[in-house]
Structure 1
Amino acid sequence: MFTFLNTIILSALALSLIPILIHLLNRKKSVLVQFSTLAFLKSLQKKKMKKIKIRQILLLILRTSILLLAVMAFARPVSKMESHGTIDAHAKTSVAIVIDNGIGASYISENGMILDAIKKKTEEILNYLKEGDEAAIIAGRRSLYSGNEGFTQNFTELKALVKSMSFSYANSNITESLFLANRKFESARNVNREIYVLTTFQASNFTDEKIILQNDIKTIFIDLSPKEMKNIGIRSVQVMSKIIEINKPVEIRVIIKNFGHNNAQDILLNAFLDGRRVGQSSVTLNADDESVVDMKIIPSKSGYIQGSVEIDDDPFAADNKKFFHVFVPNRINVLLAGNKLSDIEFIKLALNPTAQTNPLIQVKTVNAAQLPMENQGDFDVIVLSNIPRLDGLFMRRLEGFLNLGKGLMIIPGSDADISNYNTLLSTIGFGQMLNLSDNSIRSDAHMKFGKIDYSHPIIRGMFDQNITSEKPLESPSFQKYFNVGGTATSQTVIAYSNNEPFLEESASKKFGALLFLSAANLTWSDWPIKGIFVPLINRSIHYLYSKNYGINESYSSGEPIELRLNAASGENISLIDPSGIELRPKIKQIGEDILISVPTAEMPGTYKVLHRGELKVMFDLNTVDDPSGYRKLDRTKLEEIISSKQYEIVDASEDISTMILQSRSGVELWKWFVFGVLVLLIAETLISQSPRTSKK
């Protein structure tokens, strides 16, 4: 079989028409000239004219053939051999191998792990490379061979690197890898070029971006996808409880899905804290069905606790486990400031109702005059109860306190300067206090609780399950309260029966701030002596504290990670991965914070950030949630995103040796074509000079 290695050059065959065009253009129309009949007959030799025409036709054929052979020589003609497992001659080849070693390669099919099949097929392709060939391997969107950005002829090292390769917990990006492979061919030495894509055709590994395949590069997709995908996976886990206390239930929500085509019965879902099983649930899933499972776990110690939810192993183990963490406070430092003893006495009692000697919530009480002298950094939450005025310096310090993620509770009273308070309220997202409603002398005008947001973390779990919006709790009676108005982004947690807010929460995601619109003393209401007072105040403090320490950061494998940590310096910052290895993150100082960034991290688990050896924060890294369940890309979709038809798709079970032999075996004939050009040039020179020789 006869073929060409550089088919693009064949478009230059049109140049062979040039001699024909010149010949046609040089033909002139006969002109009638008057001359002597005898002279014309003597000079005209019919035989000689016939020879001239033959010579011209012969030169036309020679010149056309010279151009044809020259163009075909540049196109590198090859005589293909119909060999049976032997290569009689080898066309030098540049080969790029794209390896799909993403999370889908960890699937265990009936023939073993897909990654092992990919390694075996890659080695098989490398075994067909010979002297003069070169190769590049792209795995996980990067070159596997670190010693050269382009191609290498060190096939032994490539085989060793492939053998030691592991799968990634992130998805591959075949589109990006093919783009990188095409770029590599800019530095390729050989004209014969091939791309092999070893992939499971996982749908999420292909983007909607067009894949441009060059026509002069033979591209072969090798399909290593399992015949049937059997997979039950955990899509996500989320800590629902915002207020977490020791020895009290914490609610977590797990989403689990059956991505397979068969029903699954009694799937055991286990929850762990620090490696100890603390919860279990059973779920049944139909084919392609999804379920939300709420579980309760009880932490038995304080501090950061690593957690996970797991199901039993199936052929695809990568999504059988998801990680989370909880933070259980062991001490909450509160600064309680009031203008008079009556402003703080009930609040202080509510924060330590059992009079413990070493309570979880440590309270320091100060009056209005002492407040500006306190170091705000020593506290987690500040409570302002009926403070008359807040000066500008204190407000600026308070703003910095909140920017650290700390908590603020505001309870204005009779001494509060409304105008002064409104300056603070506007900066933290609350509306403006308009006026004081005083219904002391009219008992029938006392306010009760109206609408309550029972789903709010402060309220949820505070009351019996039978108390709902339809069956409200026993409400305190309020004689005095502040009205608010204006534009605000705050959320109403509890409203009075006239829809005026009693408890508002700032919408800020960085810090926590609560505004109570009635003072905590008996001259304003009987709230301090009602059963709701102690749990409401107590849980409010816990909630404000959790806004800073209760953030459950979670990332997906392979995506960039950025964490902001309050620290004066980035020195002595260390990042520990789930295996205990210390990583080297990038650290940047931003004001009083440091930005910790990790370009890529793949190992699932819980990571720890330490500052001077002290654990400051945790974050979780989980395998990417793939809604498709790592299913196979539809063939018609592949045809849509590939802009060229110059590719083949073969099954992994097919023998690719025949394909490789046909692509590379045979005798390159370009030297013979060049020799033919030289012979024809000599012949053309001799024939074109023959008339001059005759004249001489």
Structure 2
Amino acid sequence: MYALAAAAIPLLIHLLNRRKIKRIPFSTIQFLKQMEKKQMRNLRIRQLLLLLIRTAIILLLVLAFARPTLQSGSGGLLSERSNIEAVIVLDNSMSLSEARLSGTLLDELRTRFNSLQDAFRAGDRITVIQSTAPAATLIKQEPFESGVWERSIQKLQPNYLKTDLNSAISQAISLLDQSVFATKELYVISDFQQSGIDARNLTELFGQPENAEIQPFLLNIPHPNAENISIDSVTVVNRLVEINQPLRIKAYFRNHHPENHLNTLASVSLNNNRVAQQQVSIAPNELKEVQFQLTLAENGFVNGFIETESDALQEDNRRYFNFYVPKRVQLLHITPSDDFRSFLPLILNPAIDRGVFGYQRELAANWSSRNFLEYDVIILEGLDQLPETLVSRLKSFVEQGGGAIVLPGDRIVPPQYNRLLEQFSLGKLGELQGSPGSVEQFLTIDNFRWNHPVFEGLFEEKPGQLNPIEVYANFRVNASQQSQDLLQLSDRSPLLLESNLNKGVIYFISSPMQPQWNQLPTKGFVVPLLYRLVYFAGTRKISDRQEIRTGEIYQSQFSNLEAPYEFRMSLSQETDVRLTPEFRGSNVLIEFAETALPGNYRLQHNDQQIAALSVNPWPAESDARYFSDELPALFPGSRLLASDTPIADQVQSSRFGQELWRYLLIAAFVLLLVEMVVARTGSKSLVEESAA
């Protein structure tokens, strides 16, 4: 503003060039004095007017270059801004990967962010936060320079993560509250997807008095009504998955377009081989269930995905899943003696011959010589006595993921069996009801839990109907709340009980499988029943069908693992991460946090896979509902920056009010024209008067 001193230049010129008139008395032309007096008066008026105009021109030019503003707040007409503490929240979540003809929405966000740097200058301090879950700080409180923007844009890459604006904004406000800068600004560049915003929490956050000094600026990235089909979920319907048996997979597809009916070709791949496909037609805004059926030809860990054709958002076109098919279930059958007549080997023989079950038999007297951990299922049949050490070993085996099936003997020791039932939370043993071998009086199997995996696929209709099966005698059990009865007799007492212990399961059949006790050995129903009991119990300890969302932390606990404890989590050969286990007694806890990429991950222990993990994008990121008109209410006191006007100019205008430099230049130009007219008119009049 020191240039205002230049306004004195016209006055100095005027004083130096004042016309000095020499008076010469002349008696004969007294009348000319009056003319002279009039002429001098007109001349002084013009000169004074020119002086004022020229001074005003210089003042206007100086003020224009000073860029004064009309402020709505305090600070006066001419105010110089202080340094600014600015936090910029950038939303590069998966929804911003939506494609347009000119590129993705993330490209537009980068452009908007890049144009924002013209609103800052040296002395300002910048923080850039990525609003995904988990949030990431790209730049933290660094002095403003062009390199800040370049580094931020390099780090701002497309991803599959969910947006969490509330968390990022809360982090930004915390930084601004701690700042010593007088001016604090918050910038949010986002599509403001409704699924990623807790509106109530956000309004309360900005309504707090301590945050009143923070000025929020919003830059909205609008979504067109793009044609997009997402796969929201995939479920393997079969809870018992067997090789060479039908496999049913259920998927939910969603059409996010509000008006158009969309079609896509959906395909199923297992271990990277396409095994099924079908055409899917979905109405506007419809969630549609689609089922695929195929025959499984592989065992072990099976990785799969369902995929649709390309559309506006490619990232939600594939969804991963996994399951495990046992190669062989190892079975240990403990009986009281060699001459004990058991129907189990005969019933399970077809599965044993096919290699589905590995069968070994052991006498009760020698059970302690067996390592239970070498087997998947332990069957106790016909034992009248259950030593406490046997019950303890069996419980430890089940807790670590093993399966157990107990069929009592015909002369059991009730206290010992009571201990078993109590240890496994099955219930309490009651009295013997009925009489073995007495076929005149009997109960029948009257009810069963038809939706349990054991009965899955056994009946064409739900609920299925059982042919009458007579039970002549059984040990009555008062079931506990932790157990569930899978088969009930006609008097509502349980015949088959199930109880889960940690990862394992135990089944208790209250009537020995002998002809004098019941008809089970002679009925066809018992073959698939026992097969499925063994199969289901033997696969419980396998860590399959695990699924998390991108960005979430995976945790799992394992037992009975042998040294060395080398663990790796791999998505492909390029992404192989070595993990450090945490020991908790005899168990091993594995934690894995690098889940930003979707896919089927393999957890390996000493080069052997022990678990499978499917990581999928968040379905909420495909949700096509966004805040727009509601933004001023969500962010009280915020300024919504338009996309059709330079962003830096809008920010400057918001900081200082209406800038006047344009109007000052226009006024100076107008006065310059007036000055030219006045000066020219005055010179012409002077010449004419002199000539006269």
TM-score w.r.t. structure 1 length? 0.77
Superposed counterparts of 1:250-399, under 5 Å = 250-341=247-338, 345-353=342-350, 356=353, 359-399=355-395
Preserved CA contact (<8 Å) 2:125 2:141? no
Structure 1 residue ranges without an equivalent (≥5): 1-71, 81-88, 669-696
Alpha-carbon shift at residue 384 of structure 1 (Å): 0.7
Q: How far, CA to CA, are the matches of 2:351 and 2:234 in structure 1?
A: 35
Alpha-carbon RMSD across the aligned residues, in angstroms, is 2.9
Preserved CA contact (<8 Å) 1:203 1:628? no
Aligned to 2:213: 216
Q: Which is greater in Rg?
A: 2
Q: How far, CA to CA, are the matches of 1:246 and 1:301 in structure 2?
A: 6
Superposed counterparts of 1:114-513, under 5 Å = 114-140=105-131, 142=135, 144-145=137-138, 149-186=140-177, 188=179, 190-207=181-198, 208-209=200-201, 210-212=204-206, 214-341=211-338, 345-353=342-350, 356=353, 359-440=355-436, 442-463=438-459, 465=460, 469=463, 472-485=465-478, 487-508=480-501, 510-513=503-506
Preserved CA contact (<8 Å) 1:198 1:223? yes
Q: How far, CA to CA, are the matches of 1:264 and 1:275 in structure 2?
A: 30
Alpha-carbon shift at residue 246 of structure 1 (Å): 1.2
Aligned to 2:527: 534
1:407-430: CA deviation from partner (whole Å, max 9, x where unpaired)? 011111203222211211122221
Residue identity matched to 2:375? F
Q: How far, CA to CA, are the matches of 2:558 and 2:351 in structure 1?
A: 35
Residue identity matched to 1:216? E
Aligned to 2:598: 604
Q: How far, CA to CA, are the matches of 1:414 and 1:506 in structure 2?
A: 23
Structure 2 residue ranges without an equivalent (≥5): 1-70, 660-692
Alpha-carbon shift at residue 434 of structure 1 (Å): 0.9
Alpha-carbon shift at residue 183 of structure 1 (Å): 2.6
Aligned to 1:16: none
Cα 1:334–1:123 change in 2 (3 A) is same
Residue identity matched to 1:278? V
Q: How far, CA to CA, are the matches of 1:667 and 1:459 in structure 2?
A: 76
Q: How far, CA to CA, are the matches of 2:593 and 2:537 in structure 1?
A: 32
Alpha-carbon shift at residue 140 of structure 1 (Å): 3.2
Alpha-carbon shift at residue 328 of structure 1 (Å): 0.9
Count of equivalent residues: 579
Aligned with residue 660 of structure 1, among 651, 657, 671: 651
Cα 1:607–1:652 change in 2 (3 A) is farther
Preserved CA contact (<8 Å) 1:606 1:618? yes
Residue identity matched to 1:140? S
Alpha-carbon shift at residue 525 of structure 1 (Å): 2.4
Residue identity matched to 2:456? R
Aligned to 1:105: 96
Cα 1:137–1:438 change in 2 (3 A) is same
Preserved CA contact (<8 Å) 1:92 1:664? no
Preserved CA contact (<8 Å) 2:189 2:221? yes
Alpha-carbon shift at residue 441 of structure 1 (Å): 5.6
Aligned with residue 646 of structure 1, among 637, 662, 680: 637
Alpha-carbon shift at residue 490 of structure 1 (Å): 1.5
SS of the counterpart of 1:181? helix
Q: How far, CA to CA, are the matches of 2:351 and 2:555 in structure 1?
A: 42
Preserved CA contact (<8 Å) 2:309 2:317? yes
Q: How far, CA to CA, are the matches of 1:205 and 1:116 in structure 2?
A: 20
Residue identity matched to 2:121? K
Q: How far, CA to CA, are the matches of 1:436 and 1:653 in structure 2?
A: 86
Alpha-carbon shift at residue 473 of structure 1 (Å): 3.3
Preserved CA contact (<8 Å) 2:400 2:502? no
Alpha-carbon shift at residue 128 of structure 1 (Å): 4.2
1:426-470: CA deviation from partner (whole Å, max 9, x where unpaired)? 22221222122234464342232211222221112134x15x54x
Aligned to 2:558: 565
1:357-396: CA deviation from partner (whole Å, max 9, x where unpaired)? x722111101111112211111111001121222222222
1:336-370: CA deviation from partner (whole Å, max 9, x where unpaired)? 011145656321222222762x7221111011111
Residue identity matched to 2:649? T
Aligned to 2:66: none
* Residue 626 (1) aligns with residue 625 (2): no
Q: How far, CA to CA, are the matches of 1:188 and 1:653 in structure 2?
A: 32
Alpha-carbon shift at residue 580 of structure 1 (Å): 4.1
Preserved CA contact (<8 Å) 1:343 1:385? no
Q: How far, CA to CA, are the matches of 1:651 and 1:277 in structure 2?
A: 48
SS of the counterpart of 1:305? strand
Cα 1:181–1:486 change in 2 (3 A) is closer
Aligned to 1:681: none
Residue identity matched to 1:582? D
Cα 1:609–1:232 change in 2 (3 A) is same
Q: How far, CA to CA, are the matches of 2:195 and 2:564 in structure 1?
A: 38
Q: How far, CA to CA, are the matches of 1:316 and 1:389 in structure 2?
A: 65
Q: How far, CA to CA, are the matches of 1:345 and 1:172 in structure 2?
A: 60
1:644-673: CA deviation from partner (whole Å, max 9, x where unpaired)? x321123444431321343568999xxxxx
SS of the counterpart of 1:553? strand
Aligned to 2:577: 583
Preserved CA contact (<8 Å) 1:251 1:295? yes
TM-score w.r.t. structure 2 length? 0.77
- How many percent identity over aligned positions? 21
Preserved CA contact (<8 Å) 2:398 2:404? yes
